[in-house]
Amino acid sequence: MILTLTMNPSVDRTATLSAPLAVGGVNRIAEVDDSPGGKGVNVARVLAAGGVEARAVFPAPAQDPFVAMCAGAGVLTTVVPADGPVRINLTLADPDGTTTKINAPGPEAGEATLLRVRTTVADLARGAAWVVLCGSLPRGVPDDFYADLVTELRSSGARLAVDTSDAPLAALAARLPGAAPDLVKPNGEELGQLAGVDGVELERRAASGDLAPVVETARSLRGQGVGTVLVTLGGAGAVLIDDDEAWFASTPAIRVRSTVGAGDSALAGYLLAEARGARPEERLAWAVSHGSVAASLPGTGIPLGLDPATFRTTLLRLD
């Protein structure tokens, strides 16, 4: 089983516009889609559709409509009782695939909720192959919450993955190597946050075809105890650093409709391939194909039951 934790779940509401967003003007909506979201929930949905047992843990009121949305999407859940409704995140999607995200902060999490989350995850982790800690932290949660969990869960026997950004990611970086997870999945900017370098410059160099700074930065994290580094670079592809290997995979030619959930799908694709015993480069190919298909779908597009062999990606060993 793969266990995911989403501390700040959301209803992902995507409003597809009939024309490019006019800031300060009148905009017309062609369609609206609501999906259960939050990074860990998205990962669990893709894993379940791919035939891998997954369970999503998140704090929410027991009767919140979000819980029913997850059940309707086929997600196995463990709901940690919490106060305050699950937030609604709004994405405005232009016809050309440009997305504007407006994310709500979510309800404040109290000490009792945090204790229940820790206890629940620790209990479930003992029977899990992976524990995946995903997304932003709501108000009231200390920035080093994920770093603490990685340290606490190390004795569970489960492997630990982290996909977050900003202050929680910086707090994790500050606790390396003691809080080093087995897998991190940053984008270029987040890779910079982890390593203390300019992530925007890393993305710019990668977009121009220069992957050396990304590889060097990812390897520096390996030197600080991180197991595997999977770096997603949008249209520039993705890089995987695993043991002594470095691999690059190109992005298939797609029409981008919404990038919401694409990184989560990439992480799920990697874990699906890993569960099948795939080689590192095959895991990377699965990650890129899943992320690319998600970006080609409207709303929080989730590639359900995807066969990665139907999508072409170029694999290149970088060392």
Residue reference for tokens 């009782």: 81
The predicted structure's pLDDT at residue 258: 63
Q: What is the CATH number of the domain that holds 244?
A: 3.40.1190.20
Question: What's the chain's average pLDDT?
Answer: 91
Residue 77 belongs to what H/E stretch?
A: strand 77-81
CA–CA distances in Å: residue 54 to residues 111, 150, 224, 240, 274: 27, 19, 29, 23, 14
62 pLDDT tier (thresholds 50, 70, 90): confident
List 34, 264, 307, 319, catalytic entry:
264
Residue 239 belongs to what H/E stretch?
A: strand 238-242
pLDDT at residue 224 greater than cutoff 90: yes
pLDDT at residue 26 greater than cutoff 90: yes
Q: 229 has which bridge partners?
A: 184, 241
pLDDT in tens, 118-128: 999 999 999 99
**Mean local confidence (pLDDT), 242-269:** 83
The predicted structure's pLDDT at residue 99: 82
298 pLDDT tier (thresholds 50, 70, 90): low
CA–CA distances in Å: residue 105 to residues 19, 50, 115, 191: 28, 31, 21, 23
Range of the domain at 117: 2-317
Among candidates 131, 151, 121, which has minimal Cα distance to 1? 131
Percent of the chain with pLDDT over 70: 94
Q: Is 210 known to be catalytic?
A: no
Number of DSSP helices (H) and strands (E) in the chain, helices first? 10, 14
Residues 6+ apart with CB under 8 A from 280: 240, 242, 243, 245, 247
Whole-model pTM?
A: 0.91
pLDDT top residue among 60 and 251: 60
Tokens of 316: 């290149």
Residue 112: helix, strand or coil by DSSP? helix
Which strand ranges, in their side-by-side order, compose the sheet holding 77-81? 77-81, 54-60, 2-6, 130-134, 159-163, 183-184, 228-232, 238-242, 245-249, 315-317
255 pLDDT tier (thresholds 50, 70, 90): confident
Residue reference for tokens 């989350």: 117
85 pLDDT tier (thresholds 50, 70, 90): very high
Structural domains in the chain (count)? 1
pLDDT top residue among 160 and 306: 160
187 DSSP assignment: B
Residue 5 belongs to what H/E stretch?
A: strand 2-6
CA–CA distances in Å: residue 243 to residues 176, 178, 273: 18, 19, 17
